[in-house]
Amino acid sequence: MLSAGGEKVISIGASTGGVDALSEVLKKFTKNTPPIVLTIHLPNGMTKIYADQLDDELKMEVKEAESGDLLNRGKVLIAPSMKHMKVVRKAGLLAVECFAGEKVQHALPSVDVLFESVAREVGENAVGVILTGIGSDGARGLKEMRNRGAQTIGQDEKTSVIYGMPKVAKEMGAVKYELPIDKIADKIISLL
């Protein structure tokens, strides 16, 4: 169980090119890694398939998130298709809440919704990562995370399929460390 009091949480957002980028990052983590919450823009119905695929490939447990799922070490929770996901406090523990809503930054689920909740609930104990993707979703939320003391990482232009989301985040001062995709997991581990 994860108390709301001090354990690290890793929060990741991605869009176009994100399937391969996430695999590159997540494959280096173990069952002892702090919990990971992530939002990726995928076609409707694909997040369950993607979560099941990652669960077979990785050392961590991966699942499409459902409201009430707790953040535990060795677990990856992926925002479900067509629902936003946010981190909430529940009886002294951190959990996720998944809910239908309007698109934010043209996205449902939205990385900003996730990152802003992590900024509020986890603050300086979070690591935020923004990966390849079109548009600006996640940039504002990553900036809020950095403002609240979280460590923040953006994927570099050279290794991004689309240098949109990380570029906007970098330009607004949300990114503390900009790295190629093959260096991001090691940086997260060093920050933890």
**Among 84, 112, 117, 137, the one annotated catalytic:** 137
**Among 41, 84, 136, 156, the one annotated catalytic:** 41
- Whether residue 35 is preceded by a cis peptide bond, meaning omega within 30 degrees of 0, is no
Is 67 one of the catalytic residues? no
Is 156 one of the catalytic residues? no
Start-to-end CA span in the chain (Å)? 18
Length of the chain: 192
The Cβ-side half-sphere exposure at 39, using a 13 Å CA radius, reads: 31
**Among 11, 15, 110, 160, the one annotated catalytic:** 15
Is 106 one of the catalytic residues? no
What is the distance between the alpha carbons of residues 165 and 170, in angstroms, rounded to a whole number? Answer: 9
Annotated catalytic residues are 15, 41, 137
